[in-house]
Amino acid sequence: MGTENADDYLMLSGIQHDFFCKRQWALIHIEQYWKENELTVSGNILHKKVDQPFLKERRGNKFFSRAIPVISHKLKFVGKLDMVEFHKDKNGVEINGEKGCWKPIIIEYKNGKPKIYDYDRMQLVAEVIALEETLKVDIDKAYFFYNDIKRREEVIVTDDDRNKVLEASKEMMKHFNLGSTFEGESHKNCSKCSLIEYCMPRVTKKKKNIDNYLERFLL
Ligand code: SF4
């Protein structure tokens, strides 16, 4: 671990919110607003099923490990991965309690049809970067697992993806430290957003902070 204080790092899962909508990320991670909707509830149920710490399953020359904690000093993120599949591979890494070397493959669980949105993809890329740093190994791909149809979709992680995530992480940290929320502007993801009632994107456009906005009109 580096000399920086990991207690000050941001949640890795925030990268998905950030690529979904920068304002949504800021409302959740800076202003601490959160509200469930149908999409987030079904996602949480699925993740709860997957999220059973320390559980390992073994099948032949591979084993699966759930809820693995990861840290990236490069991104200044901490988080937990749904599931990592380890394949016996002489080019892999040593894992505590296991004989030989192992290559990790991240599996991210999703509900619904196999449609890869950019915000899901960027979360997977951030997970890859964090797992690489945590285990000191190179990873070039990861998978989404679509629970409804029990199918995997491969995602190749490019340098361009890595740069996008790195740049986003720097911007997130900058805004987090300033405590500044992004402006609310109606866009295509608003209809899927659980925070739409709080955000009021059309009304609050050009008004950065909800509390300031409410203060002006209600107090
Ligand atoms: S309602 Fe729209 S602008 Fe507001 S946080 Fe959600 S996605 Fe972002």
Query: What residue has token string 């740093």?
Result: 133
d(CA 3, CA 73): 9
* pLDDT above 90 as % of the chain: 50
Give the Cβ contact number of residue 201 at 10 Å.
Answer: 18
CA atoms within 13 A on the CB side of 85: 16
Residue 18: predicted pLDDT: 95
> Where does the pLDDT of residue 47 fall: very low under 50, low under 70, confident under 90, or very high at 90 and above?
low
Residue type at 194? S
d(CA 108, CA 128): 11
Mean of per-residue pLDDT scores for the chain? 84
Residue type at 26? A
> Residues 23-33: what's their mean pLDDT?
89
Q: Is 196 in the pocket of ligand 1 (CB under 6 A)?
A: yes
Residue 1: predicted pLDDT: 44
d(CA 81, CA 107): 8
Per-residue burial over 8-37, b = 16 or more CB atoms within 10 Å of its CB, e = otherwise: ebbbbbbbbbbbbbbbbbbbbbbbebeeee
Residue 49: predicted pLDDT: 56
> Where does the pLDDT of residue 44 fall: very low under 50, low under 70, confident under 90, or very high at 90 and above?
low
Give 135 Cα–ligand 1 centroid separation in angstroms.
35
Q: Is 28 in the pocket of ligand 1 (CB under 6 A)?
A: no
Q: Is 193 in the pocket of ligand 1 (CB under 6 A)?
A: yes
Give 192 Cα–ligand 1 centroid separation in angstroms.
9
> Residues 87-114: what's their mean pLDDT?
89
β 62-72/77-94 pair status: antiparallel
Give 183 Cα–ligand 1 centroid separation in angstroms.
9
Give 194 Cα–ligand 1 centroid separation in angstroms.
8
Residue 214: predicted pLDDT: 54
Which carries the bigger pLDDT value, residue 212 or residue 75? Answer: 75
d(CA 176, CA 13): 15
d(CA 124, CA 82): 11
> Residues 208-218: what's their mean pLDDT?
55
Angle at 166 between CA 101 and CA 15, to 5 degrees: 90
Residue 51 predicted with pLDDT over 60: no
Burial of 47 (0-12, 13-18, 19+ CB in 10 A): middle
**Interval 191-204: pLDDT, tens:** 999 888 888 886 55
Atom 2 of ligand 1, residue of closest alpha carbon:
190
Which carries the bigger pLDDT value, residue 25 or residue 219? Answer: 25
Which carries the bigger pLDDT value, residue 162 or residue 97? Answer: 162
The shares of helix, strand and coil residues in the chain, as percent rounded to the nearest 5, are: 40, 25, 35
Q: Is 190 in the pocket of ligand 1 (CB under 6 A)?
A: yes
d(CA 162, CA 118): 13
Give 12 Cα–ligand 1 centroid separation in angstroms.
20
> Where does the pLDDT of residue 106 fall: very low under 50, low under 70, confident under 90, or very high at 90 and above?
very high
Which structural domains are found in the chain, ordered by start?
6-178 (3.90.320.10)
